Amino acid sequence: MFLDEVRIRVSIGDRYRSVVSLVSRLGIATVCESALCPNIVECWNSGVATFMIMGDVCTRGCRFCYVVKGKPKPLDPLEPLRVAEAVRILGLDYVTITSVDRDDLPDGGASHFAETIRAIRRLNPGVKIEVLIPDFQGDVDAVREVVEAEPDVLAHNIETVRKLTPKVRDRRAGYDQSLKVLRVAKELNPSLITKSSILLGLGETFDEVVEAMRDLRSAGVDILVLSQYLRPSPKQLPVARMYTLEEFKELEEVAYKLGFSYVVAHPLARTSYKAGEAYLEAVKRLGGLKVKSYS
């Protein structure tokens, strides 16, 4: 079966409106809006949103992304508290947080990310937190700072296969740099669940996708997300091709054979989409949580 177009039924309910009101009032950006996510109606109607911290302006310009690129404003030191409050009001038991790149900050925003995790937990005991982090330019100390704040899942996207990385991602990003972030996070805390995503349809071959999946497994990644790349506007890269549902299924099977604990493979899957469900499945298959350790 072929998904030749994505259809979004714009059926906005009261719960969606309450999310609009909340994020506007608290002044928190969401990647749902900034990236023009096609799942926004479904997610916000369920009272779930993925917060994007450190503003809505990114220092990088990856060729698949609709987030505004430019010079970001200084960090808001109260943002961690705002996000924690949003989590409390929405009554979330699983939170997904991502950010823009902040290459203008000495630590890339790692301490702000860590503080956000801690603030959410202080106000919302028992909540599970998943962070989708930038690469912090491969800085191990920055990655350590986030890992030591004890997120339940740490995600970082390689986005595409090795060969297409220079064309698809900003020049400051790097395929090996991203693998390093994931590997380091796992080394620092072997019980931390890690996650990564690959966008399909940018011109990669099947073999290149399999190679990327192997590389992610070598870095210890537990959860894999495979998505269809959708061009947000004429300014981003065109879609090279749309994958069929059968092709997604085939790649999903290969991924499980390679040893991923959980795989989400669907055209509209995104790293943070239904992340709580993915976490529960991954934990089940990993046989429960192990003892944490830092090195």
Partner 1 sequence: MADVRVPEELWPRRGGWRGRVVSVFKKPGDRVSKGESIVEVEIEKAVLVIESPFDGIVREVLVSPGSVVEPGSTLMRVDVLG
Q: Which residues are at the interface with partner 1 (CB under 8 A)?
A: 5-12, 16-17, 20, 24, 29, 32-34, 36-38, 40-41, 56, 66, 230-234
Nearer residue to partner 1 within complex by CB, 179 or 237: 237
Residues 6+ apart with CB under 8 A from 47: 15, 18, 19, 90, 91, 92
Provide the minimum distance between the beta carbon of 37 and partner 1 in the complex, in angstroms, as a whole number.
8
Nearer residue to partner 1 within complex by CB, 61 or 138: 61
Give SS3 for 148: helix
Nearer residue to partner 1 within complex by CB, 240 or 280: 240
Q: Which residue has the tokens 């269809």?
A: 228
Provide the minimum distance between the beta carbon of 290 and partner 1 in the complex, in angstroms, as a whole number.
39
Nearer residue to partner 1 within complex by CB, 54 or 117: 54
Provide the minimum distance between the beta carbon of 19 and partner 1 in the complex, in angstroms, as a whole number.
9
Nearer residue to partner 1 within complex by CB, 57 or 258: 57
**Burial status of residue 119 (CB atoms within 10 A of its CB: 0-12, 13-18, 19 or more):** buried
Provide the minimum distance between the beta carbon of 119 and partner 1 in the complex, in angstroms, as a whole number.
23
d(CA 271, CA 224): 8
d(CA 177, CA 93): 32
Provide the minimum distance between the beta carbon of 137 and partner 1 in the complex, in angstroms, as a whole number.
27
